[in-house]
Amino acid sequence: MRLRQIRELLDAVIVHQAIPEDTDLSWAIATDLMSEVLYYSKDNSLLITGLTRQQAIRTAHIADIRVVVFTKGKEPDFQTLELAKDKGVTLLITPHCTFSACGILYERGMRCCPDE
């Protein structure tokens, strides 16, 4: 699913764009537990979370996740935004809760990162 489509489906705004909107993302992981991100994420995935602190960006960077979607309209603080810019992580904010955001993307074909 293309980043542009994800943005549109989630009624999201891009706070910082580090990759083109035509970038294809294959998987999603939704959690506030960053240890799960490190364990379950795969290449070419996005993170859906309510955690808007620097920890989410650092974890996404380590896991090679290029897109983080913050839910419930939560906005990152200045330090988190600057870290995302530094690490090349695209940030979106959606008004949807995590559960709804996942359902919307799942309904359109996005799948969770597979267990291997």
pLDDT band at 101 (very low <50, low <70, confident <90, very high): very high
- pTM for the whole thing? 0.93
Looking at residue 17, its amino acid is Q
Q: Provide the domain limits for residue 24.
A: 3-112
Tens of pLDDT, residues 70-97: 999 999 999 999 999 999 999 999 999 9
Residue 115 binned pLDDT confidence (cut-offs 50, 70, 90): low
Contacts of 70 (CB under 8 A, 6+ apart): 49, 50, 52, 76, 91, 92, 93, 94
Task: Please give the structure tokens belonging to residue 20.
Answer: 């083109």
Q: How many domains does the chain have?
A: 1
CATH number at residue 59: 3.40.1390.20
Q: What is the mean pLDDT of residues 98-105?
A: 96
pLDDT-based confidence at residue 113 (cuts at 50, 70, 90): low
